[in-house]
């Protein structure tokens, strides 16, 4: 069997629980996953480590990486650039690791275009009403922003056909089991089966 | 969520353990599966029931079903016709059941052409040597037939890219878990997600 790793892109509307799902997967089996480390031009905070929290680079370094197709997706947020480094991801995949990337929908679709073998998972909340309740409970957004986020969700849901899998995050344990099943299933894909190696292993002994 | 069932086609070389895998799945969770019932022109044996062991039909009935595209795949074996009835399968799928079909490689590929939404699983033995050992242990084939079967396997393995999933049947429990994971993953496919229903369920309450 080919031991090449999987790039698992976990995405979905804000408040659907992408982060909770990724943390849950790592909690269940830390050894199986590498959480992707982003490039950023933002300044490190006191508790942040270079190459661990982020790869901190300056803007010209970032732009040069983009130019050399070394960034799988990127976006500018409040004047800072953030992106996913191709080389780091490919090194982890080469070692057979499952790289976990939590990202918004536009970023996920950018990655699928550059790296079609990645697995896109769309996390949806049980319903729009439940999503609204979660955003209110989270308390990080004011009423107007929550309203805007909910309006946005209807658009974002139209991207569902571009995804490989949809996981409804109603009960977290059920959602985690579904993502684990997706990983197991994807490891059984024919393009991961090393037929040459299999045939060598099984050379028929002529009697 | 769309509750439409899955057609799971379990195939692979003779001796790979297709039958053992299907029986294992049913043993683990009988309520989840319907084992496909074949059409046949062969005469019923004493212990066989009409519409349960097989759908027993005469040759002209069989040929008429084929002509009306009511047979998903068929083959002639020792002068008798055997086939998979489209209507029976579709009725089960309509009820949301997972229909399990154990079949040879040519039959599996016929079904995929007629019914592309089916899931093809190729069961492979851990190695060609192990396959040889199994065929000898099974004791149903003489030396010449075993030799022929093994020669055939190299050809059959070339069909792997046409399959959706490859499951190596080394330890049965591992193989059963992989097939269960494949079923769970396939139920998360976007074409099974009923977006219209989801949006109705979640209509944003205007405040």
Helix, strand or coil, per DSSP, at residue A34: strand
A35 touches chain B (CB under 8 A): no
Structure-token pair, residue A153: 């969700």
B23 touches chain A (CB under 8 A): no
pLDDT in tens for each of the 207 residues of chain B? 346 899 999 999 988 999 999 999 999 887 789 999 999 999 999 888 888 889 999 999 999 999 999 999 999 999 999 999 999 999 999 999 999 999 999 999 999 999 999 999 999 999 888 888 888 888 888 888 888 888 888 889 999 999 999 999 999 999 999 999 999 999 999 999 988 888 876 554 444
Note the ipTM here: 0.88
* DSSP secondary structure code for residue B50 in this structure: B
d(CA A12, nearest CA chain B) in Å: 13
Residues 99-138 of B with CB under 8 A from A: 122, 124-125, 127-132
Residue of chain B whose alpha carbon sits nearest to that of A160: B190
Of B129, B192, B198, the CB nearest to A205: B129
Mean pLDDT of the A84-107 span: 94
B204 touches chain A (CB under 8 A): yes
Of A125, A161, A188, the CB nearest to B178: A188
Residues 142-161 of A with CB under 8 A from B: 150-151, 154, 157, 160-161
Contacts of A184 in chain B (CB under 8 A): 177-178, 181-182, 185
The 10 Å CB-count burial string (b at 16+, else e) for A73-92 is bbeeeeeebbbbbbebbbeb
> How many angstroms separate the Cα of B33 from the Cα of each of A174, B39, B110, B175?
21, 19, 22, 17
How confident is the model at residue B57, as a pLDDT?
A: 96
pLDDT in tens, A117-158: 999 999 999 988 888 888 888 888 888 888 888 888 888 999
| Beta-carbon separation of B199 and A157 below 8 A | yes
Mean pLDDT of the A179-206 span: 83
pTM of the model: 0.89
Hey, which residues does B39 pair with through a beta bridge? Answer: B55, B83
pLDDT in tens, A44-93: 998 888 888 899 999 999 999 999 999 999 999 999 999 999 999 999 99
Q: Are strands B119-124 and B6-11 parallel, antiparallel or unpaired?
A: parallel
Best mutation site among B188, B191, B197, B200 for testing chain A: the one with the most A CBs within 10 Å?
A: B188
| Beta-carbon separation of A185 and B178 below 8 A | yes
How many angstroms separate the CA atoms of A143 and A149, rounded?
10
**pLDDT band for position A1 (cuts 50, 70, 90):** very low
Domains of chain B: 6-37+93-201 (3.40.50.300)
How many angstroms separate the CA atoms of B44 and A20, rounded?
57
């Amino acid at each position: 069997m080919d031991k090449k790793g999987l790039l698992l892109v976990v995405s979905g509307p804000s408040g659907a629980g992408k982060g909770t799902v990724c943390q849950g997967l790592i909690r269940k089996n830390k050894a199986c996953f590498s959480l992707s480390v982003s490039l950023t031009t933002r300044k490190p905070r006191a508790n942040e480590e270079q190459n661990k929290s982020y790869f901190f680079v300056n803007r010209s370094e970032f732009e040069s990486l983009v130019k050399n197709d070394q960034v799988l997706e990127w976006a500018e947020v409040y004047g800072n650039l953030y992106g996913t480094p191709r080389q780091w991801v490919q090194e982890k995949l080469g070692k057979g690791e499952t790289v976990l990337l939590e990202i918004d929908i536009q970023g996920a679709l950018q990655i699928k275009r550059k790296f079609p073998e990645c697995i896109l998972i769309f996390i949806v909340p049980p319903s729009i009403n439940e999503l609204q309740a979660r955003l209110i409970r989270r308390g990080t957004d004011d009423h107007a922003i929550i309203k805007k986020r909910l309006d946005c969700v209807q658009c974002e849901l139209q991207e569902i056909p571009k995804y490989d899998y949809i996981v409804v995050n109603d009960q977290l344990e059920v959602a985690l089991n579904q993502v684990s099943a997706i990983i197991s299933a994807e490891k059984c894909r024919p393009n991961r089966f090393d037929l040459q190696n299999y045939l060598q292993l099984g050379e028929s002994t002529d009697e």
